[in-house]
Structure 1
Amino acid sequence: MIYISLKYYQLVLIALLLYYIFPVKFRWIVLLAGNVAFYAAFYKTGWWIFLGTIIFSYSITLIMDKLRGGARKAAFIAGILGVTVPWLLIKNSNFVIEEILGGKPVDWLVPLGISFYTLQLIGYMADVFMERIMPEKNIAKFALFAGYFPQLIQGPIPRYGQLQHQLTDGNRFDEEKIVKGFQLIIWGFFLKLVIADKAAIIVNTVFDNYPAYSGAYIWLASFLYSIQLYADFLACTTLARGVSGLFGIELASNFERPYYALSIKDFWRRWHISLSTWLRDYIYIPLGGNRKGKLRKYINLLITFFISGLWHGAGFKFLVWGLIHAVYQIIGELTFNLREKIYDICGIEPDSRKKRWIKQAGTFLLVNFAWIIFRAETLRKGFMLITDMVTEFNPWVLMNNRLFTLGLEWKEMVVLGAAIYFLHKVGKYQEEGNSAGDRVFKQPLLFRWGVYLAAIVGIILFGTYGFGFDAQDFIYGGF
């Protein structure tokens, strides 16, 4: 995968050296050259689609800036269609052709990061249309924003107002920002190689060989998939934030410990935050949000999460996955008073730890069931997997040697379990308002770098490379 390849970090190192050699006011040119080099090194086909989209959205916003009234709105709609249609054709047309029309798929050229930069450009045009920002007049600076290479493939999805000055004004050398960026890179490698790719071995064994496995096997694989997906996606955005930090550029955090959420609504405040806020600001609120009564609010939720499912992938399973989360929220709101009354009848105090644990466990299980559909090969298989989970009772397979037939030996199982526990402890520490990175940074120099070196050695020894496996592609790289 690109973000954990030696070639990528060679590019980052060269860009970093040039960035701090160049005068501050010209440093944005180094980042722009980094964008071009990144595309040239890792994706030599489809670049012209991306370039055409950049030129088109840049031109539309300049046109919008000169228009008013209906003409301005028409230009905005044309801009949205011009950016969205290529994404819809490339990412979703084969599903329609194969599954609905029964035809042969089209071999589309797929530009790198198309799902992410499409939303990024739509958000930019919407912000210009609503006069939240002024359009960028310099097309080179706009291209830098649109194709900023550390976050191009898998986010987070930035807003122009967040990145404009950080990208174009130039940043001075700041030891703290660089060291903290390095910390994030180490953390990202740990999440990817020690947790996500190791968990993927069991997950793939069970899900890809269904119905050879049922009952407790599916419970185990589904829990590990929830952890794999979280660690994998957190890894890629953490690496993006870490590399950006080396240049003194701060990308927004994309996760806030989502599996500690107390409700599905809370989960979406914590999971893939840049996508959640994008859907809120550019879909849910423009549809009317919760301002037009409960029925309209629920319809808006269904539409918003339908679009979320459509963005995640082509297929009925993604659409249903999105709608499930909308239904979760609707039912959660409708049953809120009843559930609070049940807590009261059972003598569970409103702010008690017991109540928090029950809510967290219930939310995680709901999210986990939805992830099964998300991961399954088809929607039908997803429902069959869930059915087998609750109808097949075989917990003893978790207590005998059958567990070690899923691809990991007992030593690797121990490493995975210890790594997940460590992730949990770090999450709890952060949930209390602390920062593990800040705590390490404040330590004496020798101790601090001893921690970094120990972490690097540990990743090399206990990561999937250490056990002879190839690193899996980042999951969200497929969306």
Structure 2
Amino acid sequence: MLFNSLDFLIFFPVVTLIYFLIPHKIRYIWLLICSYYFYMCWNAAYALLLFTSTAITYASGLAIQAAGKHEENDPERLKSKGFVAISFILNLTILIFFKYTGFIIDNLNLLFGRFGMELVIPKFDILLPVGISFYIFQALSYTVDAYRGDVKVERNFLKYAVFVSFFPQLVAGPIERSSRLLNQFNDRHKFDYDRVCKGLMMMVWGFFQKMVIADRVAVFVNQIFNYYNYYSGLEIFIGMLFFAVQIYCDFAGYSNIALGAAQVMGFDLMQNFTQPYLARSVAEFWKRWHISLTSWFRDYLYIPLGGNRKGKWIKYRNIMIIFLTSGLWHGASWTYVIWGGLNGAFQIVGAQTLNLRKRIKKAAGIREESWSYKMLATVITFLLVDFTWIFFRADNIEAAFSLIRQMFSGFRPWILIDGSLYAMGLSFIDFWIGMIAIAVLLAVDILHSRNIHIREWIVKQNLWFRWGIYLLAVYSILIFGYYGPNFDATQFIYFQF
């Protein structure tokens, strides 16, 4: 069930209304039923995988608790480590089988072929369960938190199950921690008008990002990336810029709808984006983008590998491991691995050249606190990140490099004035609606970066003004939302991960 579908616009109010009407002690059961129904709307059979991951990590928590707390070198401590290992092995086996089997087979076939061997492994299709990477990582974090003693082991299986399957963030995050979300199912959430208004406003903003911006610019992006051989220079560059906007608005739009829906019911989910394209370095960008995943890798992989505690080169190694793994987490393709590797490499180069750049800026009299310097740093960071998105979006490595070659050839600036720009999927009107919407997005992000929160300001206004804003926002989405040629709700990009 897509957030931007009519089904969800019926499902969510019904779920919320009943949630507030029924007794507190059975609300988590209602949420569990609704969450599994929500997930089964894609493929009912794959709810078994969700249940299996839930059961494995739930059992691992009980086993770790039963083993008790012991000193690090105590043999009994090995039992707890063993339960953690079993939980990871079983869950990652499920993830690898359903997400990476085809990738592994393709690469084995390629490897055997290079050695002149005739061994061919038959390829078979496996339908990727939606959101599998998200809920498995969320479940695994519980196992580690239970082992570390960061969270009290949950003995109520149904309550733990709703933590893993909570429908607002089930299929595309944010990837919540048990220490943040699990206990919230014990809280008594009362209907609060101001909180509900803020939650609905966040949902409306998410719908605006998805339907008005992301789905609109996607038409231009698909035209460029699918038929890149017919374009060059400026066309591909604009397509690259638009994809940066598309993936941000698509993913942040989903996250905002999820956060808003949870807030309406009284739940507090973690922020997944904080104006990432206003970052002034690639390292800062990754502190602002998909925060729940980057913090997951930091806490459960980077720090256990030694983090930055064992010297500069170990730190750089760990950064590359994190980002190569992140690339592979996103998809079973070498393009994602290259994308992750580039983001890691940019950070290492940035760290290695930091002192040199400081000396150059000092010698040149460049003031880092100046607006012009901050703007330049932001633009350079955006272009570096945007360049890596080529590999994220391209169908394969060959297409990615072809796009790059095409982008640096045949520069034709007259497309901006001769009307040919409007023959790439978007009409003149649709193109400029998209540009105006992007300007609104940028303005909102700048305001938020200056700690000016529009939702907080709106709820302080008079009733007639507030409802005027609400109706204007809803009508803007209904009128300017891009619904496609058949008025079909489009899937969110991160559902495939």
Q: TM-score scaled to structure 2, two decimals?
A: 0.94
Closer/same/farther in 2, CA of residues 366 and 30 from structure 1, 3 Å limit: same
Flag structure 2 segments of 5+ consecutive residues without an equivalent. 68-75, 111-120
Deviations 1:279-323 (A, max 9, x none): 100010010000000111111111111110110000110011111
Write the distance in 2 (CA, Å) between the matches of 1:9 and 1:34. Answer: 14
Map 1:55-454; keep pairs closer than 5 Å.
55-67=55-67, 68-101=76-109, 103-454=121-472
- 1:7 is aligned to 2:13: no
Query: What secondary structure does 1:400 align onto?
Result: coil
Write the distance in 1 (CA, Å) between the matches of 2:157 and 2:458. Answer: 41
C-alpha contact (below 8 Å) 1:26/1:170 kept by paired residues: no
Q: Partner amino acid for 1:331?
A: V
Deviation of 1:45 (Å):
2.1
Write the distance in 1 (CA, Å) between the matches of 2:296 and 2:203. Answer: 26
Deviation of 1:99 (Å):
4.0
Query: What secondary structure does 2:129 align onto?
Result: coil
CA RMSD of aligned residues (A): 1.5
Q: Determine the structure 1 residue equivalent to 2:116.
A: none
Flag structure 1 segments of 5+ consecutive residues without an equivalent. none
C-alpha contact (below 8 Å) 2:31/2:162 kept by paired residues: yes
Q: Partner amino acid for 1:398?
A: L
Closer/same/farther in 2, CA of residues 449 and 384 from structure 1, 3 Å limit: same
Deviation of 1:466 (Å):
8.3
C-alpha contact (below 8 Å) 2:422/2:428 kept by paired residues: yes
Write the distance in 2 (CA, Å) between the matches of 1:61 and 1:165. Answer: 15
Deviation of 1:104 (Å):
4.2
Deviation of 1:395 (Å):
2.0
Write the distance in 1 (CA, Å) between the matches of 2:366 and 2:126. Answer: 56
C-alpha contact (below 8 Å) 2:281/2:377 kept by paired residues: yes
Sequence identity, in percent? 37
Deviations 1:2-58 (A, max 9, x none): 111121232212211111111223322221221132234343121112111111111
2:490 paired residue among 451, 472, 475: 472
Deviations 1:167-201 (A, max 9, x none): 23331111111111110111111101110000000
Write the distance in 1 (CA, Å) between the matches of 2:316 and 2:434. Answer: 40
With 392-401 and 119-128 compared, the bigger mean Cα shift is at 392-401
Q: TM-score scaled to structure 1, two decimals?
A: 0.97
With 402-411 and 342-351 compared, the bigger mean Cα shift is at 342-351
Write the distance in 1 (CA, Å) between the matches of 2:83 and 2:33. Answer: 31
With 346-355 and 283-292 compared, the bigger mean Cα shift is at 346-355
